[in-house]
């Protein structure tokens, strides 16, 4: 057995174009010869055919994908008879969000619309027990009409099937620029991990930059774990303070500081006027579903501790017995 090529047939599908090739699979545009429908085939490379773990994970991606139905999630189509391992999906006319991004920010209205659609899809997926875990501009397709389609659930975690998922091999799989700090630490993550990714994507759409930028992957990962993200206004002077508060909450390093769910982030994206800007003095803003950031809590605790120490010193001085006034005179003789 060998890898298929353009011009060949795979069962009832004629392969017409190679759309992409990764380390694990090739993506073909194809035609269902029985119906004439244009589809997309994801075909793993032949060396993975005998890999039991890969086979089970790929089968699960196919199986779980077929039960997901949402206007912003690519459809995985049932295929009864297969001569080898592959997956059939709907063909989406459009381009990736990556192809839309450049050196200039996208118009705010367009960026917010795309982010709302992504969040709507994530809210649905999380409700179905699915974590995407590799959300990035390359995995977001946009049709000419502006409709979003999320693709590639290759490292997704399916809560309904815990024995073996893509996460069984490595919890830290993902794309560094969009990985949440907890993924870098090797944790499987939860819905807030996907919130971090969509927050990073929206940040990029609105600023043409990322919250953390480094040509060195190791330095990038370390910064994401140890340092605070740059505020959008660092890149775009005069950036809307309400949107800045929203973005900084979405990409907070500590998951407890983030939006607790994609649904909560979606609410603020639909009503950005209701988001409270960060207070310059305290850093506090809208915190529905989250908690005050460590950037706020730790300085506040330090200030409280200093105040407490000062109070103790003052009380101690106030209630101390009077000093022996005769001692200095005795030493002076």
The mean pLDDT of the chain is 82
The pLDDT of residue 174: 55
CB 121 within 8 A of CB 91: no
What does DSSP say about strands 87-90 and 130-131: parallel, antiparallel, or unpaired? unpaired
Q: Which of 200, 78, 189, 84 is nearest to 139 (CA)?
A: 200
- Contacts for 126-130: CB closer than 8 Å, 24+ residues apart: 126/191, 126/194, 126/261, 126/262, 128/67, 128/68, 129/158, 129/159, 129/160, 130/64, 130/68, 130/156, 130/157, 130/158, 130/159
Helix segments in the chain, DSSP class H: 52-67, 97-100, 108-127, 181-184, 191-207, 217-226, 232-235, 241-250, 262-270, 294-319, 326-332
pLDDT digit string, tens, across residues 283-320: 545 444 444 444 434 443 333 333 333 433 333 444 44
Of the candidates 20, 60, 27, which has an alpha carbon nearest to the alpha carbon of residue 41? 27
Residue ranges of the chain with per-residue pLDDT less than 50: 161-172, 284, 286-333
* Stated pTM of the model: 0.79
Q: Yes or no: say if 65 and 87 are a contact pair by the CB < 8 Å rule.
A: yes
pLDDT at 159: 58
pLDDT of residue 149: 97
Structure tokens at 84: 């080898």
What is the residue whose two structure tokens read 């979003």? 148
SS3 content of the chain, % helix, strand, coil (to 5): 45, 15, 45
Quick one: which of 271, 224, 221, 223 has its CA closest to 246?
271
| Tokens read off for 244 | 């800045």
The sign one gets for the Cα dihedral 224, 128, 152, 173 is positive
Residue 23: is it exposed, middle or buried by C-beta count within 10 angstroms (0-12/13-18/19+)?
exposed
Cα–Cα separations (whole angstroms), residue 327 to 72, 148, 199, 320, 330? 85, 85, 69, 17, 5
CA angle 61, 11, 86 (to 5 degrees): 15
pLDDT digit string, tens, across residues 170-229? 334 557 899 999 999 988 789 999 999 999 999 999 999 999 998 898 999 999 999 999
Phi then psi for 45, rounded to 5 degrees? -65, 150
Catalytic residues, by residue number, are 134
Tell me what pLDDT residue 115 has: 98
Q: Which domains can be identified in the chain, with CATH numbers?
A: 9-90 (3.30.200.20), 95-294 (1.10.510.10)
Dist CA 321 CA 238 (whole Å): 58
Query: Residue 152 and residue 147: Cα distance in Å, rounded?
Result: 17
Cα–Cα distance for residue pair 178/35, rounded to 1 Å: 39
Residue 89's pLDDT is what?
96
Measuring CA to CA, which residue among 87, 83, 21 is closest to residue 57?
A: 87
């Amino acid at each position: 057995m060998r890898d298929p090529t353009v011009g060949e047939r795979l069962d009832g599908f004629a392969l017409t174009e190679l759309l992409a090739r990764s380390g694990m699979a090739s993506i073909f545009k194809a035609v269902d010869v029985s119906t004439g429908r244009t589809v997309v085939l994801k075909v793993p490379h032949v060396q993975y055919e005998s890999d039991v773990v890969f086979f089970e994970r790929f089968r699960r991606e196919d199986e779980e994908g077929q039960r997901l139905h949402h206007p912003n999630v690519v459809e995985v189509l049932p295929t009864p008879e297969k001569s080898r391992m592959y997956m059939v999906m709907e063909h989406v006319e459009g381009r990736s969000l990556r192809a839309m991004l450049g050196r200039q920010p996208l118009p705010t209205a367009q960026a917010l619309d795309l982010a709302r659609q992504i969040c709507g899809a994530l809210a649905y997926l999380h409700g179905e027990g699915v974590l995407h875990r590799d959300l990035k501009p390359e995995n977001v397709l946009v049709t000419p009409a502006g409709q979003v389609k999320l693709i590639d659930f290759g490292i997704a975690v399916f809560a309904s099937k815990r024995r073996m998922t893509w996460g069984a091999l490595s919890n830290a799989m993902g794309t560094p620029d969009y990985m949440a700090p907890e993924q870098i630490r090797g944790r499987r993550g939860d819905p807030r991990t996907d919130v971090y990714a969509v927050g990073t994507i929206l940040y990029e759409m609105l600023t043409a930059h990322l919250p953390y930028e480094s040509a060195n992957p190791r330095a990038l990962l370390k910064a994401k774990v140890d340092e605070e993200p740059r505020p959008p206004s660092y890149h775009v002077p005069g950036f809307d303070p309400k949107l800045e508060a929203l973005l900084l909450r979405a990409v907070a390093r500590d998951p407890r500081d983030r939006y607790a769910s994609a649904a909560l982030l979606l609410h603020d994206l639909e009503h950005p006027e209701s988001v409270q800007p960060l207070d310059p003095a305290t850093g506090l803003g809208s915190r529905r579903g989250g908690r005050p950031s460590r950037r706020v809590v730790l300085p506040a605790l330090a200030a409280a501790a200093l105040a407490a120490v000062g109070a103790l010193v003052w009380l101690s001085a106030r209630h101390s017995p009077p000093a022996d006034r005769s001692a200095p005179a005795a030493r002076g003789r």
